[in-house]
Structure 1
């Protein structure tokens, strides 16, 4: 079994219910070809570096990115790509093979700095002791 990661850009005019059906259809295609879907990650709304064009929609400047991590045969990869290419909501899709598990997409943990507490911990509060 070869492991893959598929990135999908869906334009903003595509309804959320249709997006859910698209992800279900992609999962069905993977599972029917003896594959396994490990994770569907919603990467959120992002702007593109330049305007993209799709005949049915027109010019697209932003969309919602999804990441699918799955395993299967190369035939399953071809079927997944065909499913995504022929959908009107998908603007871009890219499938890459993964050689090592640590090469999967992971969120940036160092982008936002950790906020230190503004005040020191409250040490003057001590539990009440029994008075003798």
Structure 2
């Protein structure tokens, strides 16, 4: 039985998606279910997953995305009873107190600053998995 944490990633930057994928491939405790480019695709994936009963254990969302940004996506996820209990992490190239507090107030598990280097990405993925462990 596969007990790895299932992760859904939303980021419009292909390089960032590839880095997350590479880092998660190296882990034995987590697997990338899907990586998508925007919030609309997150909601489409969640709706399909709800039908099969295979929802992610964690959703990681970049804030700056086209069509539907991270905060809007968070609001949609948390407003749907089927998905409201899935932990969501928002990460962005910027974060001020107003943004962070707004996301946390809307149900984000954590808000992080987007890293720039591989080593920092690895650390942030470690911290996201640790948050998920602590949240369970």
TM-score when normalising by structure 1: 0.29
Q: Which has the larger radius of gyration?
A: 1
TM-score when normalising by structure 2: 0.28
Larger RCO, structures 1/2 (Cα 8 Å, 6+ apart): 1
- Point out the structure with the larger strand share: 1
- Point out the structure with the larger helix share: 2
